[in-house]
Amino acid sequence: MKSGKRLKYSPLGQKRSGAEPKIVSCVEGEEWRCAEVAEMLLAGKVGIIPTDTLPAIVADLENREAALKLYSVKEMSAKKPLSILCRNFQDIAHYTNGFPVSNEAGARDWFKVLKRLLPGPYTLILPASKNLPTQVVDFMKGRTVHRKSVGVRIPDDHITQGVLAALGRPLLCTSVHVGEHIGDDTECPDLGSMLESYGASGIDFIVDVGPRIATVSTVVDMTGAEPEIVRVGRGDPAPFEQ
């Protein structure tokens, strides 16, 4: 792994007191510890895990209290949408209404296209199905926020997929705060930086995988008849361009 510029998280404001987060080392050869991470998530814990792009703050999709804690840890409005990390296309089919379908001659079969791209560094915005739990709640006012769409990912990362497999269902997620432009040689923050930024914010655990280069996913809105590229990241946008 080439060394690069160290990336620090942006400030999160006033820290909350609490226990130090548990550090889970999960470098090559220690994938068995994914089961330990899944157990903490099932118990309602919120933590940071690696993905194939930026690290993600994650919580059990089915746990309302954990979802509210995730919002609190990142100090974000409950009106801001979250994404879900999925194991496979079956998860996407369950929580969304699927990909655009057209009967016009020459129209692309998006399922076949995405089978070639995923797992990979893409976030797809799709119409949410009725199966998506109503965990996006404005905890300041007590109002449930209706979600018509949701961002979904199938990360190409063996640690992420190991945690998802052990958990047995998708995870609610949001990327960590980034306080600067990400270049080709920008590193994800090391454990010390993560502890400095999140150690007293209420985070319960951090999965430490050692140095990695920081990247962002390519975001594609697929809620309409044709996909719209929202952000170009690590994933090649060419398959979605006309």
- pLDDT of res. 157: 95
pTM (2 decimals)? 0.86
pLDDT tens, residue by residue, 98-125: 999 877 877 899 999 999 999 999 999 9
Flag whether pLDDT at 43 surpasses 80: yes
Percentage of residues of the chain with pLDDT beyond 70: 86
Instruction: Give pairs for 91-95: CB < 8 Å, separation 24+.
Output: 91/152, 91/154, 91/169, 91/170, 92/124, 92/126, 92/152, 92/154, 94/129, 94/131, 95/128, 95/129, 95/131, 95/132, 95/150, 95/152, 95/170
